[in-house]
């Protein structure tokens, strides 16, 4: 079962994150970021992100360091466990699927 905390992505940004699957091995979310939408600071374990649309996102680390990403539909990335804020800085909707990996039972 997923560990819930004040920094859990689903709790931090229910306007963006929609839970699709949660089991002992993985948690899968569908995300829809409208232009200007922000997912406030939250945590992820190791995770895989699949981008359904082209888009421009900004990730902000707890210390304030930012990383702007220009992504293409079909792009897939692995991200190690981290805390960040995410913002759609583009002019179009950004849809993506996030798959959080859990430790094997």
Q: What is the pLDDT of residues 71-80, one digit of tens each?
A: 999 999 999 9
Residue 34 forms part of a structural domain = yes
Tokens of 37: 């939408």
Residue 3 forms part of a structural domain = no
Residue 90 forms part of a structural domain = yes
Residue 24 forms part of a structural domain = yes
DSSP state, 6? T
38-42 mean pLDDT: 97
pTM of the model: 0.88
Around Cβ 68, how many Cβ atoms within 10 Å?
10
Residue 58 forms part of a structural domain = yes
Q: What is the CA radius of gyration of the chain?
A: 13
Residue 4 forms part of a structural domain = no
């Amino acid at each position: 079962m997923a560990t819930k905390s004040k920094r859990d992505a689903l709790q931090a940004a229910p306007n963006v994150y929609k839970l699709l699957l949660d089991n002992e091995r993985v948690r899968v979310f569908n995300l829809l970021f409208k232009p200007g939408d922000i997912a406030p600071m939250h945590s992820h374990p190791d995770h895989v992100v699949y981008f359904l649309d082209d888009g421009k996102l900004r990730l902000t680390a707890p210390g304030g360091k930012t990383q702007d990403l220009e992504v293409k539909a079909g792009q897939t990335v692995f991200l190690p466990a981290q805390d960040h804020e995410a913002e759609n800085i583009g002019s179009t909707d950004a849809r993506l699927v996030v798959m959080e990996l859990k430790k094997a039972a």
